[in-house]
Amino acid sequence: MNLELKNLLSEYSDIVYEKMDDLLPTEQVGRVGENRIARAMRYSALSDGKRLRPFLVMSCGDLFGVSKTSSSQVGAAMEFMHSYSLIHDDLPAMDDDDLRRGKPSCHKEFDEATAILAGDALLTLSFEVLSSGYVHDDARVRSDLVEAFAKAAGTKGLVGGQMIDLLSEERNFNVEEITRLQRMKTGALFVLACESGAILGKAPQKMRNALRGYANDLGLAFQITDDILDVEEESREDKNVEKGTYVNIMGLEKATKQVQILVDQSIEHLEVFGPRADRLRDLSRYIINRNI
pLDDT tens for each residue of 32-61: 788 999 999 999 999 888 899 999 999 999
CB-based burial, 263-274: b 16+ in 10 Å, e otherwise: bebbbebbeebe
pLDDT at 292 over 50: no
Bridge-based pairing of strands 103-104 and 99-100 is antiparallel
pLDDT at 138 over 50: yes
CA proximity to 264, closest of 218, 201, 222, 199 = 218
What value does the mean pLDDT take over residues 72-90? 97
Chain segment 203-234, per-residue pLDDT in tens: 999 999 999 999 999 999 999 998 888 776 66
Residue spans of the domains in the chain: they are 3-289
Give the per-residue pLDDT at 243: 54
> What is the residue-averaged pLDDT of the chain?
91
What value does the mean pLDDT take over residues 27-34? 81
Cα torsion through 263, 182, 185, 107, rounded to 10: -100
Q: Does domain 3-289 have CATH number 3.10.450.40?
A: no
By percentage, how much of the chain surpasses pLDDT 90? 72
